[in-house]
């Protein structure tokens, strides 16, 4: 639980004005409170175990892809039902000894890339 609190705190930091790869998140955020929620949600999910899987990936492209597929939206944040629905159609992939759906792993990659600067602080 302590870890979760830490991550929530990190999410707020991001919401308060991280720059670099997260700038586009901020641009879309505007004053929409739900966007803060997406940022917080991504912050909760950010985990260093996804550093390898996200290597070489573009956060903007990930964001656009996940948004196009309805998994995330600036208004509603992460949609678990959509993620589950897609997982039923996707072939599982293996990463570091565990199974993921490709969409789920893409989401965690995005979370890592967006919040990488705050991890470990």
Partner 1 sequence: MGHTTMLVLDPENRHYDVAIIGSGPAGITLALRLARLTPFRIGLLESGLLEAAPTVQALALAQLDGDLGEAYFPMHTQRRFGGSSTIWGGFCAVLEERAFLAGDWPIPYTELERWYPAAAAMLELPDNAYRRPHAAIEGTRDIVYKPFYLSPPVRFNEKYGEEIISHPRIDLILGHTCTRLEHSGSRVRSLLLRDSLDMARSPVRLTAGTTVLACGGVGNPRLLQLSGIGRSLPVGVGLMEHPHLYAVADMYLDWGRMQDVVDRQANAVHALQLADRYCVANDVLSFSADFNLQQLVSEPLLGGRREALFTPVSLRAEIAPHPANRVGDSDQLNALGQPLSRIEFHFRFREQAHRTWRLFAEALLRSGLGRPSTLKPSFRLNSGGHLMGTTRMGSDPRQSVVDGNGRVHTTDNLYVAGSSVFPAGGASNPTYTIVALTLRLGDHLATRLGGNAYAAS
Binding residues for partner 1 (CB under 8 A) = 1, 3-4, 7, 41, 44-45, 47, 71, 78-80, 83-84, 87-88, 92, 94, 97-101, 104, 107-108, 111
Give the residue with the Cβ less far from partner 1, 23 or 67.
67
Least distance (Å) between residue 71 CB and partner 1: 7
Gap between the Cα atoms of 53 and 103, Å rounded: 13
Gap between the Cα atoms of 42 and 7, Å rounded: 9
> What's the helix, strand, coil split of the chain in %, to 5?
65, 10, 25
Least distance (Å) between residue 97 CB and partner 1: 5
Give the residue with the Cβ less far from partner 1, 23 or 93.
93
Least distance (Å) between residue 54 CB and partner 1: 13
Give the residue with the Cβ less far from partner 1, 23 or 49.
49
Structure tokens at 15: 């919401």
Residue 99 parent element (H or E): strand 98-100
Angle between helices 102-115 and 59-68 (to 10 degrees): 140
Give the residue with the Cβ less far from partner 1, 17 or 77.
77
Do 39 and 18 touch, CB atoms closer than 8 A? no
Least distance (Å) between residue 58 CB and partner 1: 20
């Amino acid at each position: 639980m302590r870890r979760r609190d830490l991550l929530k705190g990190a999410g707020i930091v991001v919401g308060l004005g991280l720059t670099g790869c997260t700038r586009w998140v901020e641009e879309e955020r505007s004053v929409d409170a739900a966007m803060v929620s997406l940022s917080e949600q991504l912050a909760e999910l950010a985990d260093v175990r996804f550093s390898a899987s996200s290597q070489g990936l573009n956060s903007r492209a990930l964001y656009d892809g996940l948004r196009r597929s309805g998994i995330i939206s600036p208004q509603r944040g992460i949609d678990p039902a959509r993620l589950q629905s897609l997982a039923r159609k996707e072939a599982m992939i293996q990463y570091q000894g565990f199974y993921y759906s490709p969409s789920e792993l893409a989401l965690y990659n995005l979370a890592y890339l967006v919040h990488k600067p705050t991890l470990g602080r």
